[in-house]
Amino acid sequence: MTALSTPAPLQAPFMRPGMAALPGSKIREVANAALGRSDVLAFWFGESDEVTPAAVRDAAAQALQRGETFYSHNLGLPDLRQAIASYCSALHRPLAADRVAVTSSGVNGLMVAMQLLLSAGDELVAVVPVWPNLTAQPAILGAKVRRVALRPQAGAWRLDMAELLAAVTPATRVLLLNAPNNPTGWTLTRAEQQLLLDHCRRTGTWIVSDEVYERVYFDAPCAPSFLDIAEPDDRVIVAQSFSKSFLMTGWRLGWLVLPPAALPAVGVLLEYNSSCAPVFVQRGAMAALASADDFVPGLTQRLKAGRDRLLAGLTALPGVEAAVPRGGMYAFFRVHGQPDSDDSLALAQRLVARHGLGLAPGAAFGPEGEGWLRWCFASQDLARLDRGLARLAEALRS
Interface with ligand PLP by CB under 6 A: which residues? 46, 105-107, 131, 178, 182, 210, 212, 241, 243, 249, 254
* Nearest to ligand PLP of 106, 313 (CB atom): 106
Kindly state the smallest distance separating residue 181's Cβ from ligand PLP, in Å. Answer: 7
* Nearest to ligand PLP of 313, 358 (CB atom): 358
**Helix, strand, coil tally for the chain in percent (to 5):** 45, 15, 40
CB 382 within 8 A of CB 338: no
The rounded distance, in Å, linking the Cα atoms of 342 and 349 is 13
Taking residue 191's Cβ as centre, other Cβ atoms within 10 Å add up to: 10
Kindly state the smallest distance separating residue 256's Cβ from ligand PLP, in Å. Answer: 11
Taking residue 107's Cβ as centre, other Cβ atoms within 10 Å add up to: 20
Kindly state the smallest distance separating residue 277's Cβ from ligand PLP, in Å. Answer: 11
Give the distance, in angstroms, between the CA of residue 7 and the centroid of all CA atoms in the same chain.
Answer: 41
* Nearest to ligand PLP of 56, 107 (CB atom): 107
* Nearest to ligand PLP of 182, 187 (CB atom): 182
* Nearest to ligand PLP of 110, 385 (CB atom): 110
* Nearest to ligand PLP of 335, 378 (CB atom): 378
Kindly state the smallest distance separating residue 213's Cβ from ligand PLP, in Å. Answer: 7
* Nearest to ligand PLP of 182, 205 (CB atom): 182
Ramachandran sector of residue 247 (left: φ over 0; alpha: ψ -120 to 50; beta: rest): left
* Nearest to ligand PLP of 331, 335 (CB atom): 331
Kindly state the smallest distance separating residue 208's Cβ from ligand PLP, in Å. Answer: 11
CB 328 within 8 A of CB 180: yes
For residue 256, the surrounding DSSP H or E stretch is strand 254-257
- Listing DSSP states for 156-219 in one string gives EEE--HHHHHHH--TTEEEEEEESS-TTT-----HHHHHHHHHHHHHHTPEEEEE-TTTTSBSS
Can you tell me whether residue 121 is helix, strand or coil?
A: coil
Kindly state the smallest distance separating residue 241's Cβ from ligand PLP, in Å. Answer: 3
CB 82 within 8 A of CB 97: yes
Kindly state the smallest distance separating residue 6's Cβ from ligand PLP, in Å. Answer: 41
The rounded distance, in Å, linking the Cα atoms of 215 and 312 is 22
Kindly state the smallest distance separating residue 170's Cβ from ligand PLP, in Å. Answer: 27
* Nearest to ligand PLP of 131, 295 (CB atom): 131
Q: CA of 193: how far to CAs of 164, 200, 213, in Å? A: 12, 10, 16
Indicate the residue whose CB is closest to ligand PLP: 106
Beta partners for 205? none
Kindly state the smallest distance separating residue 109's Cβ from ligand PLP, in Å. Answer: 8
The rounded distance, in Å, linking the Cα atoms of 176 and 170 is 15
Residues across the chain: 398
